Amino acid sequence: MITKDSVAHVAELARLEFSEEELQQYTAQLDEILTMVDQLETVDTTGVPVTTQSIHLQNVMRADVAEPATATEALFKNVPTKKGTLIQVPAIIDKEED
């Protein structure tokens, strides 16, 4: 059983925020999903290795050759706000503490 408090904690880790109503809805839905997931407990996985990829390649190398870099202008094409070649962001320190 996942609690509303732990859902709120996970939201903080995921950099998401929810209204009280959304928090209740997500708690109920995640609880239902995790109950479905709990059937994995019935599978005996003693000594079974994990699979995190299906292609089994290791240490894929390429030649260390310098190539033309992407133009700075192109890299800034989707930046919301900028000054020259700097990305402009809001103040890191809370505005109300100014």
Partner 1 sequence: MNYFNTDIQATHDALVSGAQTASDLVAATYANIATTDAKIDAFLALNPDEAKAQAAALDAAGIAADQPLAGVPVAIKDNILTDGLTTTAASKILANFEPIYDATVVTKLKEAGAINVGKLNLDEFAMGSSTENSGFKVTKNAWDQSRVPGGSSGGSAAAVASGQVLLALGTDTGGSIRQPAAFNGIVGLKPTYGRVSRWGVIAFASSLDQVGTLTRSVKDAALGLNVIAGHDEKDPTTADVPVPDFTEKLGQSIQGLKIALPEEYLGEGIDPAIRTKIEAAAEQLRALGATVDTVSLPHTKYAVPAYYIIASSEASSNLQRFDGIRYGFRAKDVKNLTDVYVKSRSEGFGPEVKRRIMLGTFSLSAGFYDAYFKKAAQVRTLITRDFEQVFANYDLVMGPTTPTPAFKIGDKVTDPLTMYMNDILTIPVNLAGLPAASIPAGFVDGLPVGLQLIGKSFDEATILQVADAFEAENDYLAQIPGGAQ
**Contact positions vs partner 1 (CB under 8 A):** 2, 6-7, 10-11, 13-18, 26, 29-30, 32-34, 36-41, 43, 45, 48-55, 57, 60, 62, 70, 74-75, 77-81, 87, 89-96
Written as one letter, the residue type at 46 is T
Whole-number minimum distance, CB 83 to partner 1, in Å? 14
- Report yes or no: 2 and 18 within 8 Å, Cβ to Cβ: no
Match 């005996």 to its residue by tokens: 44
Q: How far is CA 57 from the centre of its chain?
A: 25
Whole-number minimum distance, CB 69 to partner 1, in Å? 12
